[in-house]
Chain A
Amino acid sequence: MNKATYSLAESIKLLPVNIRNSVIRRGGGSEDQERASVVFGNLFLHLHPVRVHLNTLRLGYTLGLGLISFYLLVILIISGILLMFYYIPSIDMAYNSMLDLEFAVSFGVVLRNMHRWAAHAMVAFVFFHMCRVFYTASYKSPREFNWVVGVCLLLLTLFLSFTGYLLPWDQLAFWAITVGTNIVTYVPWIGDELRYLMLGGTEVGQMALLRFYVLHIAVLPMVMAALVGVHFWRIRKDGGLSRPLDN
């Protein structure tokens, strides 16, 4: 071993460079190779291919709607985790948590507002995204299955939004969920049982709040994250975004 090269002093001098190089894999080579390695050397970017078709960049084609849906989801997850530090899923405490957020927690109102408005926006934008996919015929072969995954994502978005709606435990929440879950009772044969399963009782109460809470912060977000992963991976496997035939 060459002591000069591996001296402690030298290591300390090269610390920034070495740390940087250990985190970021440098591709080296030509400019394009370097750019390629930015994408495939990064966990968060490697779902992308190294090159994409020009049509993919056309804002007028996708209108960015799928990506906007995804970004709203990211904002919801981050603001939701922060809200969890203040929210207590009990019928005696939940409403007080809302008041705390509004009056006691620094920027608590903004946090709650962001979570609420992003949730409403997400329902709308996922729907718009579905319309875009329909009107550009992007559900056709070979993308049929990704459309099906998308429909599941739409339903998940609705359920996430619906389960979150109860959590503030105010009149708006209580009666909206009462009305909403009443619809379930019209399912033939098992309607009442289904509603009982959702609410953990015959009325919206502590059990219902807890069930909606667990679904809202654990079960549905995990399913959502997994399905979004499948959705993005399928885009790649289906040959990138749909586009008209090249002339």
Chain B
Amino acid sequence: MQASEKEELFPKGSDKTYSLMGIVEGEPLQVERGPDNMVMTYPHLVVRELLLFLVVFIVILGVSMVFNAPLEEPANALHSTNPAKAPWYFVGIQELVSYSAFLGGIVAPGVIVLSLLLLPYLDRNPRGVGVWFSGTRKFGIVMFSLFVIVMIVLILIGEFLRGPNWNIYWPWL
């Protein structure tokens, strides 16, 4: 910058007891960081996003070269498989249906979806935002974890421990 420009930007006031000593070119103290810990989206975030895409793509491609998707006999409406299993993400529900069709197949999924939809309107306490497992919301964390664990256990039972006629079957026996 020209010295004359500095003069204009910061004119020496005759009534001031201080004056601008000089402007130094160079990186600010917080290199690459703006105020409030903000950084430029490009390149910082964009590069990370592209990298993650590469990782996801390579993993899926790799898995697909090694493992083949299942393909059984052509569909035959006269020959049911035994047991007939829903896709794994519905097997937990199917397990519940085997206890009670109405409670397990309709009420339970309905209650799950409704509670998920209403969750942010029922839990109005603003504490703990942005913190993993914040100690200020133990009740919520326990309840949600119970839900997750029960879902996973039901899926595992339905997927691995149910044999013909939906009877319990121990894979290692």
Listed in ascending order, the chain A residues whose CB lies under 8 Å from chain B are 32, 35-36, 38-39, 45, 48-57, 59, 61, 64, 67-68, 71-72, 74-75, 91, 95, 98, 102, 109-110, 112-118, 120-121, 123, 131, 134-141, 143-144, 147-148, 151, 154-155, 158, 161-162, 165, 168-176, 178-180, 183, 186-188, 203-205, 242-246
Q: Does B74 contact A (CB under 8 A)?
A: yes
Smallest beta-carbon distance B22→chain A, Å:
21
Q: Is the CB of A48 within 8 A of B41?
A: yes
A-B contact pairs, 13 of them (CB 8 A): A35-B40, A36-B42, A45-B41, A74-B53, A113-B63, A113-B67, A131-B144, A140-B128, A143-B120, A158-B89, A169-B74, A173-B75, A174-B76
Assembled-state Cα–Cα distance A196/B71 (Å):
27
Q: Is the CB of B64 within 8 A of A139?
A: no
Cβ–Cβ < 8 Å partners of B34 in chain A: 51
Cβ–Cβ < 8 Å partners of A245 in chain B: 130
Cβ–Cβ < 8 Å partners of B106 in chain A: 183, 186-188
Q: Is the CB of B75 within 8 A of A161?
A: no
The 10 closest A-B pairs by CB, nearest first: A144-B120, A113-B64, A174-B75, A175-B84, A116-B69, A244-B130, A183-B105, A51-B38, A171-B72, A38-B42
Q: Is the CB of B137 within 8 A of A137?
A: yes
Per a CB cutoff under 8 Å, which of A52, A110, A141, A186 touches B101? Answer: A186
Per a CB cutoff under 8 Å, which of B38, B56, B117, B128 touches A54? Answer: B38
Q: Is the CB of B63 within 8 A of A244?
A: no
Per a CB cutoff under 8 Å, which of A117, A137, A171 touches B63? Answer: A117
Interface residue ranges of B64-121 to A (CB < 8 Å) = 64-65, 67-77, 79-81, 84-90, 93-94, 97, 101-102, 105-106, 113, 116-117, 119-121
The total of chain B residues at the interface (CB under 8 A) is: 75
Q: Is the CB of B130 within 8 A of A136?
A: yes
Per a CB cutoff under 8 Å, which of A36, A102, A121 touches B40? Answer: A36
Q: Does B61 contact A (CB under 8 A)?
A: yes
Per a CB cutoff under 8 Å, which of A32, A45, A67, A204 touches B52? Answer: A67
Q: Is the CB of A137 within 8 A of B40?
A: no
A57 and B116 in contact, given A52-B38, A134-B144 (Cβ under 8 angstroms): no
